[in-house]
Amino acid sequence: MPTEQALKTRSNNSCELCTSTETLAVYPVPPTSDLSAQQSIYLCQHCLSQIEGQSEIEVNHWRCLSDSMWSQEPAVQVMSYRMLHKLSAESWAQDALEMIYLEDDVKTWAEQGIAAERSNGPTRDSNGAELQDGDNVTLIKDLKVKGANFTAKQGTMVRGITLTDNPEHIEGKVNGTRIVLVSAYLKKA
């Protein structure tokens, strides 16, 4: 059975992430795919354009991941995990990431794609030092945190940072809140 026909049947002719029935297409899940139904998903144009970076990510559209992450299909689980990871600055996405369960091989597949996206250049601090996951950094200026009603003060230590898919941003906890920080305002500790 051809891949598209298998995906139509599996998905009940709807997007496997948001359940839309508008303009559907086969999406081979990177970084490697043999183009089989097991390594592909059926997506609407709206999801596809945001995944491929052709249009800006609409955060509220992706709330559908709270349902699709429970799919029995590994390829759907992988894409749900990756998009939740991209949206991890949102509290609901963080909560979903903490709840999602992936078999070891599926999680490895999901993280390979995240690592491949990160390969577009290293994340550097204000002095040009390369940052890695788990590093500690210090804020070099006061930063008003939108939506959290506090200011992260200059000199605040952020421990155990997490890199994002954007080399200009990192994630870390400040005052018990997980936030995204611009790497240009940080100094490696």
Is 41 in the same domain as 112? yes
pLDDT band at 43 (very low <50, low <70, confident <90, very high): very high
Q: What pLDDT was estimated at residue 167?
A: 79
Residue pair 170/186 in contact by the 8 Å Cβ criterion? yes
Residue pair 114/165 in contact by the 8 Å Cβ criterion? yes
For the whole model, what pTM was predicted?
0.63
Read off the pLDDT of each residue in 104-129 and give the average, rounded to a whole number.
Answer: 81
Is 61 in the same domain as 137? no
pLDDT band at 40 (very low <50, low <70, confident <90, very high): very high
Q: What pLDDT was estimated at residue 120?
A: 61
Is 77 in the same domain as 96? yes
169 DSSP β-pair partners: 182
Is 107 in the same domain as 22? yes
| Residue-number span of the structural domain to which 139 is assigned | 123-188
Name the burial class of residue 96, with classes exposed (0-12), middle (13-18) and buried (19+) by CB atoms within 10 angstroms of its CB: buried
